[in-house]
């Protein structure tokens, strides 16, 4: 292989580098979780593992296949410290404390910075501003590193070969920069810089080609925390990071070289914030641009705070401080456009406020690179009772310097635009100023502060539909957006804005919220829970007392409507032209349909999607699923939104018949109005399929539909989803997805004799049976099961497989397929919510251990200890060996072992046998083996695991045709004795196998 | 990956091939029936015997239990990709030299598995070699010759 050719993938080893649970950068040093304890002996014992690399807080694994590397990562015994606590947001911290937070190598630098800061203007106190998710990865990209004979490193990756990055690799790997090379392959990706450094490091460690993959992570907490000194004088000084042009790679942070990297990466000496002339504009590069956002957010917020402290008008003060003709001109026009000051106190009790921020940066993507000014003026209204924030008006402008440049003129051309967002054609958001609104919404709807972001959304173009809006909702009245482009532009009024225009958004919104409420948000994107909590602490006068009575009356009326035995039909409506729905609404509806698994039940095997006909077996008889395509006669083509919503929320068909609760309207009732409308838009825009579905064949008296009115009285609560204000937005999002759209309880809650879900503590999500599969308890109540961490839930729901708990099979497989459409944040929210249901979940693994939950499982063949909680191994006593020996006197056990070795071991014994493609699930870790009944295990053996789209799972062939009932029973008994020796054997397995074999295959 | 798509573009032995089958059809059947690559054998159909082994991104995989939709975007190598009758690959040549077969039905799996091992570990120990071949079945009892051939392949590569 010549050094210039990309190594063949077959010749590469595969590597991952771990992310610590909390990743924080203070602009010069790594300031997140530290590695306290590290033991890789179990990880090194995994077949195919070539090397485990540790450099300070960085841990990487290189193995023959990606899955082996991931398996090894799960065997690492690691203990992380908590990241140092940040002071309460309102308390200024002294800069000396900030210096001491750094690690040993960086302390000298930080101290020097602090010294310089002190010289620059005293240090009465520093204010910290947090840019959340600033180091989060998009989970995209790759890098292949190779190490030459002489130790020279070459990395192939979709990444630019910037000198700073080369120097960083050299520093991490201990080489001279000229011995490092980056070969750019394809379009540069935002997060490739992390992978590039990691690939170089791992290739150097094993001296062979290594392909590095992005680490799948659920809830990575990452943030950039900047300190701004606010001295009494009129000068404002930023500590350390004010000119960090790019963030260092995560590897550089974790290995501790980030603070020592020379020249461009080094924070420049602190300099006065105002006046601005002379300050070099930071360079915009898409890769690692978060420092720029953090920087502008911190600086513009601090300027606003400072002006208020001095009793000045912050907008006047800011304008006066610009000191640059271009910037002044732009800011002046924006102010003029925005007009007079707004009315602060409204009759409806909402508080209004106005905020301004501007930024200057170099657009490196422009040809030639140009300095760009951008400014935002935001009018918000905040409802002090609910904490809802409405953006009422956005006036946004961008001004290129050097307008004689024809190229730039084309990019920036456009008249002043007044756009009413309510009537905006959302399909054209990428061309029209709707992106401004999208930016604002994203900053405000960031209930998941630890987001893994989609960079294309951040660019404003083609943004992901806002699937995350749960609570609080934005003000219903849409805002007016006004955009100001450069004057005198000649090109047609199609403004293509650079991403730089987005920079001042966060600070302008924070300043506006401060103006309206007096509350300063110092973390962006904003956690509106924080705002709500602070609002609750303000003294607020009581409001009208009548609304709840009206609401109660309305609810009562709704209840009566739902439980009347006879319901009115809702007239059919003419077929709708689906083009009236925006592409965004349809896309949002598609995600809801996907998360709600509509097609799983409403599609017959081999039939058209959602055309119905699939027989749903219930204990009361068979119910064929209905046709929900927009066909006029056989589907829902004639259904108005009202009829659709009544069916979804109250279980009443358009013609007035009650629907059987096999259709989980008990959950769907909680779907939000916006989601309901989007779902309707999606279903109505799908191709109509004519397919008449037969009537259900239920036993008497279950065939009498009016009786369902009584059932609903007992079991159906049509109340909408209520967010719990005590919990985080992420928790509420998870609860909404689980309880409303996802209808998890339909399978995972036990049902009583009348088919009603049992609710309440100890029942809700405590496990159920469906189609002969055991739907495991999700609340941690099953005695035998190993505790699931939040990460476990995420991995399982995202990939279909948790190394510690096994694979998604049976009816869960199509659920995984549906979930694959959802973004990572939603999956993380579900994981977060489910984890919170577990007893003592806040205390985590420690509580589980104290409660006597089994933390360890032991592989019988090797005695390797697998640690469930990620803590240090407690010991590797071969318990299972003893158990097998004790049980081995039975011939059945020996037969079972022989069957396992012959039929299963090739794929299910990763400690032995060849390194193989695909996931080799460890039987020792399967939840199915620790379950109360062997039914799910037996069903997997009989029917295998089919191909599940959107997951990393492979398939398992069915063994019903090659194993007799006795053989399956022998195998099941053997697996239970070997892998769950602490639990009693299952009784009467052979009869169970025969019964399950007779059940229909799904 | 979707089980609904019908046309699958797959990369086999460094050539791009398009096949029109359901996504859950085993790769083995696609290779043998659609592409005429009969190096991989149909043995048990349950991933137990290893006769169907191919390389996927350089790692051994049992093509009878791998749906064709799973290898989208990956490089599949079959026995034909290691060499030809006139110019066999080093592992193939070692098996010829040692006449390491009785009926030969398992040989595809033995050769592919050894090749995959040597790709990532050019000098495996005898224990590693045995472990790697642990789940490749040979009904004729040619194990001694097969191990000899594999050892010769290691020396050949040295």
Which among B58, B69, B132 has the least Cβ separation from residue A914? B132
Residue A737, pLDDT above cutoff 70: yes
Max CA pair span of chain A: 93
What's the gap in Å between the CA of A50 and the closest CA on chain B? Answer: 9
- To test the contact with chain B by mutation, choose from A14, A862, A906 the residue with the greatest count of B C-beta atoms within 10 A, namely A906
Contacts of A954 in chain B (CB under 8 A): 65-67, 70
Residue B63, pLDDT above cutoff 60: yes
B120 to A13: CB separation less than 8 angstroms, yes or no: yes
- To test the contact with chain A by mutation, choose from B2, B11, B65, B78 the residue with the greatest count of A C-beta atoms within 10 A, namely B65
A906 to B2: CB separation less than 8 angstroms, yes or no: no
pTM: 0.54
SS3 A258: helix
B149 touches chain A (CB under 8 A): no
Mean pLDDT, range A644-669, rounded to an integer: 88
A962 to B46: CB separation less than 8 angstroms, yes or no: yes
Residue A691, pLDDT above cutoff 60: yes
C-alpha–C-alpha distance, residues A951 and A278, integer Å: 53
- A920: tokens are 């080799």
Mean pLDDT, range A761-769, rounded to an integer: 79
Which has more confidence, A887 or A737? Answer: A737
Task: Give residue A75's pLDDT.
Answer: 86
CB pairs under 8 A between A and B: 105
Which has more confidence, A865 or A969? Answer: A969
Per-residue model confidence as pLDDT tens digits over A313-350 = 888 888 887 777 777 777 887 777 777 766 777 777 78
Residue A794 and residue A831 in contact, taking contact as beta carbons nearer than 8 Å = yes
A852 touches chain B (CB under 8 A): no
Per-residue model confidence as pLDDT tens digits over A344-354 = 777 777 888 88
What's the gap in Å between the CA of B109 and the closest CA on chain A? Answer: 11
B116 to A47: CB separation less than 8 angstroms, yes or no: no
Task: Give residue B30's pLDDT.
Answer: 95
- To test the contact with chain B by mutation, choose from A1, A6, A7, A10 the residue with the greatest count of B C-beta atoms within 10 A, namely A10
A950 touches chain B (CB under 8 A): yes
- To test the contact with chain A by mutation, choose from B55, B58, B75, B137 the residue with the greatest count of A C-beta atoms within 10 A, namely B58
Task: Give residue A768's pLDDT.
Answer: 81
Which among B1, B46, B61 has the least Cβ separation from residue A950? B1
Mean pLDDT, range B124-144, rounded to an integer: 90
Which has more confidence, A770 or B77? Answer: B77
Helix (H) or strand (E) holding B111: helix B107-120
CA distances to A665, B52, B107 from B102, rounded to whole Å, are 64, 18, 9
Contacts of A950 in chain B (CB under 8 A): 1-2
Helix axis angle for A824-836 and A729-736, nearest 10°, is 90
A915 to B60: CB separation less than 8 angstroms, yes or no: yes
Contacts of A12 in chain B (CB under 8 A): 58
The least confident of A51-65, A492-506, A726-740, A874-888 is A874-888
- A589: tokens are 């509806």
The pLDDT-based confidence of B32 (bands split at 50, 70, 90) is very high
Contacts of A65 in chain B (CB under 8 A): 59
Task: Give residue A293's pLDDT.
Answer: 79
A915 touches chain B (CB under 8 A): yes
Contacts of B113 in chain A (CB under 8 A): 914
What's the gap in Å between the CA of A65 and the closest CA on chain B? Answer: 7
What is the radius of gyration, based on Cα positions, of chain A? 30
Which has more confidence, B81 or A305? Answer: B81
Cβ atoms within 10 Å of B131's Cβ, excluding its own: 18
Per-residue model confidence as pLDDT tens digits over A212-260 = 988 876 456 677 777 665 543 344 444 333 344 567 888 988 988 866 5
Which among B1, B47, B58 has the least Cβ separation from residue A10? B58
B134 to A11: CB separation less than 8 angstroms, yes or no: no
Percentage, residues of chain A above pLDDT 90:
10
- How high is the mean pLDDT of chain A? 71
Residue A799 and residue A139 in contact, taking contact as beta carbons nearer than 8 Å = no
Residue A648 and residue A593 in contact, taking contact as beta carbons nearer than 8 Å = no
- To test the contact with chain A by mutation, choose from B52, B53, B54, B120 the residue with the greatest count of A C-beta atoms within 10 A, namely B120
Residues ≥6 apart with Cβ < 8 Å to A295: A226, A238, A241, A242, A243, A244, A282
A947 touches chain B (CB under 8 A): yes
Task: Give residue A490's pLDDT.
Answer: 37
The pLDDT-based confidence of A532 (bands split at 50, 70, 90) is confident
Residue found under tokens 């959602």: A610
B46 to A957: CB separation less than 8 angstroms, yes or no: yes
- A424: tokens are 């905006």
Task: Give residue A220's pLDDT.
Answer: 61
The residue of chain B with its CA nearest to that of A48 is B120
A915 to B61: CB separation less than 8 angstroms, yes or no: no
B66 to A954: CB separation less than 8 angstroms, yes or no: yes
Task: Give residue A170's pLDDT.
Answer: 92
Task: Give residue B107's pLDDT.
Answer: 95
Sign of CA dihedral A279, A285, A291, A295: positive
The pLDDT-based confidence of A99 (bands split at 50, 70, 90) is very low
The residue of chain B with its CA nearest to that of A920 is B61
Task: Give residue A273's pLDDT.
Answer: 35
Cβ atoms within 10 Å of A587's Cβ, excluding its own: 19
Residue A508 and residue A299 in contact, taking contact as beta carbons nearer than 8 Å = no
Task: Give residue A523's pLDDT.
Answer: 83
Residue B78, pLDDT above cutoff 60: yes
The pLDDT-based confidence of B55 (bands split at 50, 70, 90) is very high
- To test the contact with chain A by mutation, choose from B44, B47, B71, B81 the residue with the greatest count of A C-beta atoms within 10 A, namely B47
The ipTM assigned to this model is: 0.83
Task: Give residue A427's pLDDT.
Answer: 29
Residue A223 and residue A295 in contact, taking contact as beta carbons nearer than 8 Å = no
Which among A907, A913, A916 has the least Cβ separation from residue B59? A916
Task: Give residue A258's pLDDT.
Answer: 67
B132 to A947: CB separation less than 8 angstroms, yes or no: no
Q: Which of residues 53-92 of B touch A (CB under 8 A)?
A: 55-62, 64-67, 69-70, 75, 77
B65 to A912: CB separation less than 8 angstroms, yes or no: no
Q: Which of residues 59-78 of A touch B (CB under 8 A)?
A: 64-65
A96 touches chain B (CB under 8 A): no
The pLDDT-based confidence of B3 (bands split at 50, 70, 90) is very low
Contacts of B67 in chain A (CB under 8 A): 947, 954-955
Mean pLDDT, range A762-782, rounded to an integer: 78
Task: Give residue A783's pLDDT.
Answer: 55
The least confident of A279-283, A443-447, A591-595, B55-59 is A279-283
What's the gap in Å between the CA of B85 and the closest CA on chain A? Answer: 23
The residue of chain B with its CA nearest to that of A609 is B4
The residue of chain B with its CA nearest to that of A953 is B70
Residue A376 and residue A437 in contact, taking contact as beta carbons nearer than 8 Å = no
The pLDDT-based confidence of B103 (bands split at 50, 70, 90) is very high
Which has more confidence, A596 or A882? Answer: A596
Angle (CA) A469-A475-A478 rounded to 5° is 100
Percentage, residues of chain A above pLDDT 70:
68
Which among A902, A915, A947 has the least Cβ separation from residue B3? A947
What's the gap in Å between the CA of A647 and the closest CA on chain B? Answer: 30
A1 touches chain B (CB under 8 A): no
A10 to B1: CB separation less than 8 angstroms, yes or no: no
Q: Which of residues 89-148 of B touch A (CB under 8 A)?
A: 113, 116-117, 119-121, 131-136
Task: Could you list the beta-strand ranges (E) of A753-870.
Answer: 768-770, 773-775, 801-802, 806-807, 856-858, 865-867
Per-residue model confidence as pLDDT tens digits over A1-54 = 445 688 877 778 899 998 888 888 877 778 888 898 999 988 888 777 889 999
CA distances to A401, A923, B54, B70 from B61, rounded to whole Å, are 59, 19, 6, 11
C-alpha–C-alpha distance, residues A763 and A807, integer Å: 24
Task: Give residue A436's pLDDT.
Answer: 63
- B25: tokens are 């059809």
Residue A884, pLDDT above cutoff 60: no
Task: Give residue A445's pLDDT.
Answer: 59
Residue A408, pLDDT above cutoff 80: no
């Amino acid at each position: 292989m010549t050094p210039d050719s990309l190594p063949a993938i077959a010749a590469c080893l595969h590597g991952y580098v771990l992310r610590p649970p909390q990743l924080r950068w203070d602009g010069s040093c790594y300031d997140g979780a530290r590695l306290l304890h590290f033991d890789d002996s179990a990880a090194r014992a995994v077949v195919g593992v070539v090397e485990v690399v540790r450099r300070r807080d960085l841990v990487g694994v290189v193995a023959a296949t990606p899955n082996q590397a991931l398996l090894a990562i799960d065997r690492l015994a690691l203990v992380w410290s908590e990241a140092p606590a940040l002071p309460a947001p309102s308390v200024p911290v002294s800069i000396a404390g900030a210096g001491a937070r750094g690690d040993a190598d960086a302390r000298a630098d930080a101290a020097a910075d602090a010294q310089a800061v002190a010289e620059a203007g005293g240090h009465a106190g520093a204010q910290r501003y947090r840019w959340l998710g600033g180091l989060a990865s998009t989970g995209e990209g790759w890098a292949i590193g190779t190490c030459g004979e002489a130790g020279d490193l070459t990395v192939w990756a979709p990444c630019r070969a910037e000198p700073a990055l080369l120097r960083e690799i050299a520093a991490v790997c201990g080489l001279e920069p000229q011995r490092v090379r980056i070969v750019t392959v394809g379009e540069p990706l935002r997060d490739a810089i992390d992978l590039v450094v990691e690939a170089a490091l791992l290739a150097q460690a094993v001296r062979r080609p290594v392909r590095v993959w992005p680490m799948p992570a659920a809830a990575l907490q990452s943030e950039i925390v900047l300190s701004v000194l606010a001295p009494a004088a009129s000068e404002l000084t930023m500590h350390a990071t004010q000119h960090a042009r790019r963030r260092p790679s995560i590897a550089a942070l974790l290995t501790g070289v980030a603070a020592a990297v020379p020249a461009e990466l080094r924070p420049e000496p602190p300099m006065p914030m105002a006046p601005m002339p002379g300050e070099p504009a930071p360079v915009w590069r898409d890769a690692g641009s978060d420092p720029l956002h953090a920087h502008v957010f911190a600086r513009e917020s601090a300027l606003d705070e400072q002006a208020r402290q001095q009793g000045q008008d912050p907008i006047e003060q800011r304008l006066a401080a610009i000191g640059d003709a271009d910037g002044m001109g732009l800011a002046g026009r924006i102010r003029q456009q925005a007009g007079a000051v707004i009315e602060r106190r409204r009759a409806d009790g909402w508080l209004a406020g106005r905020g301004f921020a501007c930024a200057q940066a170099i657009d490196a993507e422009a040809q030639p690179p140009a300095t760009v000014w951008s400014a935002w003026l935001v009018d918000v209204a905040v409802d002090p009772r609910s904490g809802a924030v409405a953006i009422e008006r956005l006036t946004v402008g961008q001004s290129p310097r050097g307008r004689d440049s024809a190229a730039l003129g084309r990019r920036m051309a456009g008249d002043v635009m007044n756009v009413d967002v309510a009537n905006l054609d959302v399909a054209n958001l990428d061309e029209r100023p709707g992106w401004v609104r999208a930016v604002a919404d994203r900053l405000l709807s960031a209930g998941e502060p630890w987001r893994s972001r989609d960079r294309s959304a951040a660019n404003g173009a083609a943004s992901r539909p806002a699937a995350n809006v749960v609570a609080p909702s934005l003000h219903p009245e849409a805002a007016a957006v006004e955009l100001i482009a450069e004057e005198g532009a000649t090109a047609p009024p199609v403004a293509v804005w650079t991403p730089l225009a987005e920079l001042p958004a966060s600070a302008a919104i924070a300043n506006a919220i401060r103006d309206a409420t007096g509350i300063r948000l110092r973390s962006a994107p904003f956690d509106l829970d924080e705002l709500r909590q602070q609002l609750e602490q303000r003294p607020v006068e009581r409001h009208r007392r009548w609304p709840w009575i009206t609401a109660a009356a309305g609810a009562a009326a709704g209840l009566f409507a739902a439980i009347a035995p006879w319901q009115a039909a809702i007239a059919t409506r003419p077929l709708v032209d689906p083009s009236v729905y925006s592409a965004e609404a349809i896309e949002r509806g598609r995600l809801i349909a996907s998360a709600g698994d509509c097609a799983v039940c409403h599609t017959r095997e081999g039939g058209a999607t959602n055309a119905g006909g699939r027989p749903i077996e219930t204990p009361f008889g068979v119910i064929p699923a209905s046709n929900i395509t927009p066909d006029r006669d056989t589907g829902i083509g004639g259904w108005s939104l009202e009829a659709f919503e009544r069916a979804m929320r109250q279980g009443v068909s358009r013609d007035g018949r009650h629907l059987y609760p096999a259709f989980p309207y008990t959950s769907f009732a909680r779907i939000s109005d916006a989601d309901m409308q989007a779902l309707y838009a999606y279903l109505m825009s799908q191709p109509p399929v004519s397919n008449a579905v037969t009537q259900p064949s239920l036993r008497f008296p279950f065939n009498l539909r009016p009786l369902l009115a009584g059932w609903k009285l007992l079991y159906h609560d049509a109340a909408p989803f209520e967010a719990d204000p005590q919990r985080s937005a992420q928790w509420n999002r998870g609860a909404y997805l689980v309880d409303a759209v996802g209808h998890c309880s339909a399978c995972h809650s036990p049902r009583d004799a009348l088919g009603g879900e049992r609710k309440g503590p100890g029942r809700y999500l405590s496990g159920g049976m469906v189609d002969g599969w055991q739907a495991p308890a999700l609340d941690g109540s099953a005695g035998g099961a190993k505790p699931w961490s939040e990460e476990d839930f995420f991995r399982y729901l995202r990939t279909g497989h948790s190394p510690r708990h096994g694979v998604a099979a049976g009816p869960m497989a199509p659920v995984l397929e549906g979930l694959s459409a959802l973004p990572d944040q939603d999956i993380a929210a579900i994981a977060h919510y489910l984890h919170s249901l577990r007893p003592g979940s806040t205390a985590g693994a420690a509580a589980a251990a104290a409660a006597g939950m089994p933390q360890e499982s032991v592989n019988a063949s090797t005695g390797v200890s697998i640690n469930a909680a990620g803590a240090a191994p407690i010991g590797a006593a071969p318990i299972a060996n003893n158990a097998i020996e004790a049980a081995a006197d039975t011939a059945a056990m020996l037969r079972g072992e022989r069957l396992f070795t012959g039929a299963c071991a090739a794929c299910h014994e990763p400690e032995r046998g060849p390194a193989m493609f695909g996931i080799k699930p460890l039987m020792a870790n399967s939840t199915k083996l620790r379950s109360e009944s062997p039914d799910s295990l037996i069903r997997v053996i009989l029917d295998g695991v089919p191909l599940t789209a959107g997951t990393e799972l492979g398939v398992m062939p069915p063994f019903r045709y090659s194993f007799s009932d006795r053989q399956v029973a022998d195998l099941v008994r053997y697996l239970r004795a070997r892998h769950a020796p602490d639990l009693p054997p299952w009784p009467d397995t052979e009869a169970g196998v025969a019964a399950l074999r007779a059940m229909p295959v799904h | 990956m979707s089980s609904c798509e019908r046309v699958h573009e797959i990369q086999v032995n460094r050539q791009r091939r398009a096949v029109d089958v359901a996504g859950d059809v085993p790769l083995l059947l696609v290779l043998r029936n659609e592409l005429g690559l009969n190096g991989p054998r149909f043995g048990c159909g349950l991933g137990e015997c290893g006769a169907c082994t191919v390389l996927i991104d350089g790692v051994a995989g049992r093509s009878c239990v791998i749906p064709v939709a799973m290898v989208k975007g990956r490089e599949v190598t079959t026995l034909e990709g290691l060499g030809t009758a006139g110019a066999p690959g080093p592992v193939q040549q070692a098996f010829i030299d040692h006449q390491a077969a009785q009926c030969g039905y398992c040989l595809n799996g033995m050769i592919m598995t050894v090749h995959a091992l040597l790709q990532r570990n050019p000098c495996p120990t005898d224990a590693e070699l045995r472990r790697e071949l642990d789940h490749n079945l040979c009904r004729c009892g040619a194990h001694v010759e097969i191990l000899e051939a594999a050892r010769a392949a290691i020396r050949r590569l040295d």
